[in-house]
Structure 1
Amino acid sequence: MFKKWVTRFALTCAIGVSLIAGTGSAAFAADTWLILSDIDGHQVGAMQHVDDGDSFRVYDSLRDGHSVEGCLQTYTPRTGWVTLRCKNNDSGAGTYESFSYDVITGLIYRMRLCNALVPCATQGFNE
């Protein structure tokens, strides 16, 4: 049990460091990933921001009969997090659904990924 938590912590730190390095400036722009896992560490779904073309992909990773919903949100000081666009992947495990949204430099964004079996996960990024 302890080994699983250490592995999760290391993975979370690695993702955080890569996010900070990838979003430092436009010259170092990179794709951003959000992984949704259950309590046992099994990947339920994933969401990817493909920086080249501002495309978002919502992956269903687990054959559990439940869809995965990925949303793009932006932060505004007056209202907090506002959902801009969502896509539900109910196509089955091993597939992805995609949508496009023009991400603007200078705004704060986050991806939110949800599944009926586990709590939602979020990952912040900027252009």
Structure 2
Amino acid sequence: MFKKWITRIAITCAVGVGIIAGTGSAALAGDTWLILSDIDGRQVGAMQHVDDGDSFRVYDSLKDGYSVEGCLQTYTPRTGWVTLRCKNNDSGAGTYESFSYDVITGLIYRMRLCHALVPCAYQGFNE
């Protein structure tokens, strides 16, 4: 009799831990950052995917008279990388421009960040 109760308690605890672990896995998803630096290592811009709400922010980090352009791209086997949406930050250093795009689970995405004096940088991510 005692052995049955111990078994039932163990199974109940295991199921409870499984439920908590399963619901907690969505919290592991986080924001994705892409930092663009010049040849001297100075940050000229950044792009952030804010996972909560699927918004994208394009930051201009350097007061140099040039804007920073951030784009969201997805990969399709037939055509390769396809640009879905872009935002140019010409508001000045220390600011960001944002846009929203509903990122779908199961697709491959990447952020592209470009500056006039620095080659573009890329950062892949998925939902």
4+ residue segments displaced more than 4 Å: none
Q: Which residue of 2 aligns with 1:11?
A: none
1:13-28 aligned at under 5 Å gives the runs: 26-28=26-28
1:59-70 aligned at under 5 Å gives the runs: 59-70=59-70
TM-score normalized by the length of structure 1: 0.80
> Aligned pairs, how many?
103
Which runs of 5 or more residues in structure 1 are unaligned?
1-24
Q: What amino acid does structure 1 have at the position aligned with 2:114?
A: C
Q: What amino acid does structure 1 have at the position aligned with 2:95?
A: T
> Greater Rg, structure 1 or structure 2?
2
Please report how far the alpha carbon of residue 78 of structure 1 lies from its aligned counterpart in structure 2 after TM superposition. 0.3
Distance across 2 between alignment mates of 1:61 and 1:27 = 29
User: Is the aligned partner of 1:109 residue 2:115?
Assistant: no
Q: What amino acid does structure 1 have at the position aligned with 2:41?
A: G
Please report how far the alpha carbon of residue 26 of structure 1 lies from its aligned counterpart in structure 2 after TM superposition. 3.8
Which runs of 5 or more residues in structure 2 are unaligned?
1-24
Q: What amino acid does structure 2 have at the position aligned with 1:120?
A: C
TM-score normalized by the length of structure 2: 0.80
1:123 aligned counterpart, secondary structure: strand
Please report how far the alpha carbon of residue 111 of structure 1 lies from its aligned counterpart in structure 2 after TM superposition. 0.1
